[in-house]
Amino acid sequence: MIKKLRLKFILVSMLSVTIVMVLLIGIINIMNYRSVVNGADRILAMLTDGGGRFPGMTRSDVTRPARRPSRNNDDFIRRMTRSISGEDDESSPELRYESRFFSVTLDLNGEVKSTRTDRISAIDSEEAVEMAKEILRSGKVIGFRGDYRFRKNVNTKNDTILIVFYDCGRSLDNVRSFLFISIMISLICLLMVYILITISSKAVIRPAADAYEKQRQFITDAGHELKTPLAIINADADVLEMELAGDTDESSANEWLDDIRKQTSRLTELTGKLIYLAKTEEGTKEAFTFVDFPVSDVIAQEVDSFKAPAQAAGKVIDVKIEDNLSMNGDQKAIRQLAGIFLDNAIKYSPEGGTISISLKKNGRYIGFSVTNSTVTPVSKENLKHMFDRFYRTDESRNSSTGGYGIGLSIARSIVEAHKGKISASSSDGSKLTMSVVLPL
């Protein structure tokens, strides 16, 4: 249980840190990308307003070759800083010389009237026309075509369509680089956080572990201490019965003595179950003896022992047990597990009800389930607490059925010690199914 508590603490902590990290990195990278897109859109607006060139650009500026942008670290840092801070690149006087763009002008019928590719060397006129016609067919006004941001502008005065493409390759490369770097840094940080949480988790859950160990030890010690006085009470009751053998009101005395024996027997049984539960929850090797045994035969024998009580209570048992199944585990504990399920099914099913028992192999696991109809509907809240100690669906905690409310807690401890899974389910509230999955 302590190991599971520690694993849950590590899982919850790592999940929380991961969610925060993903949100933080995601927001930063989205803002970075949106900054690049907004900057490109502002430059495209300037270019479309200028008819495919920057406003105020002279003919000599148009024919002047574009400067190849620097890809050194200083340029990368400068542009990333501007991108994150929101500083406008278009405010730079070098913008018209650093920017790479081209444009295509078409008439309303889609015929090419002119192209301008002198401000870019990676695209020739044929490629520019092909890209422009592709944009025209798509019907988009603005968007991306590869690393090129485009904008379409329809001039109704001279019946022309101007499509301007702006090269965002350098900026998008920076965005991708920043995304890759941020992901790598996040992974490294998560690994470091995982190591720190794993190391510190022992100290964090130590108070809970100490409290649980003290509780378990208290139950064990108290159980052993109760055994002696209960045995003495039983012995004293026998002696008292012999001394009162000659009493004229012997029947009345025997009635009280029988009640003492009955309640003492209940306390002795409860004490034994509490001690067993404490041992099984500890999960030590001393509590279980794992050997290979025929689980089909064990379950079948346990079912046979409950057929007579079920028949006496007017209840029908439907058995479907797959033959020749074996598993590695504690035979006595598995037998007790089946007994707990069958005992509960008989106690809490209505007269004339049906109890279905299933045991079958499913891959590398064995599935064991017991289904019974219920007197009262089973709610989802009942299912959540079904395996809690001393929990009963009857809020009045009536013990007329003879149970103590710890049988299913013992069943859960047995299953967990065998590295299996246990669950309680109810499809419509009128039937309760106890299911166990155990490894072979």
DSSP letters for 183-205: HHHHHHHHHHHHHHHHHHHHHHH
How far apart are the two ends of the chain, measured CA to CA in Å? Answer: 23
Q: Which of 186, 393, 149, 417 is nearest to 281 (CA)?
A: 417
Q: Tell me the CATH number for domain 288-439.
A: 3.30.565.10
Dig out the tokens for 342 from the structure.
Answer: 């069958």
For the chain, domain boundaries: 2-177, 204-282, 288-439
Given this model, what pLDDT does residue 189 score? 93
What SS3 state is found at 127? helix
Q: Tell me the CATH number for domain 204-282.
A: 1.10.287
Total count of residues recorded for the chain? 440
CA–CA dist 135, 125 (Å, integer): 15
Segments of the chain with pLDDT less than 70: 1-2, 55-96, 208-225, 227, 241, 243-254, 256, 269, 273, 277-287, 389-405, 429
DSSP letters for 47-101: HHHTTSS-TT--HHHHHSPPPPPP-SHHHHHHHHHHHHHT--GGGSTTHHHH--E
Given this model, what pLDDT does residue 183 score? 93
- Give the CA diameter of the chain: 134
Task: Look at the pTM and tell me if it is higher than 0.85.
Answer: no
Given this model, what pLDDT does residue 287 score? 65
CA 140 to chain centre: 42
Tell me: the pLDDT tens digits for 110-153? 889 999 988 888 899 999 999 999 999 898 999 999 999 999 99
Given this model, what pLDDT does residue 397 score? 43
| The one-letter amino acid at 437 | V
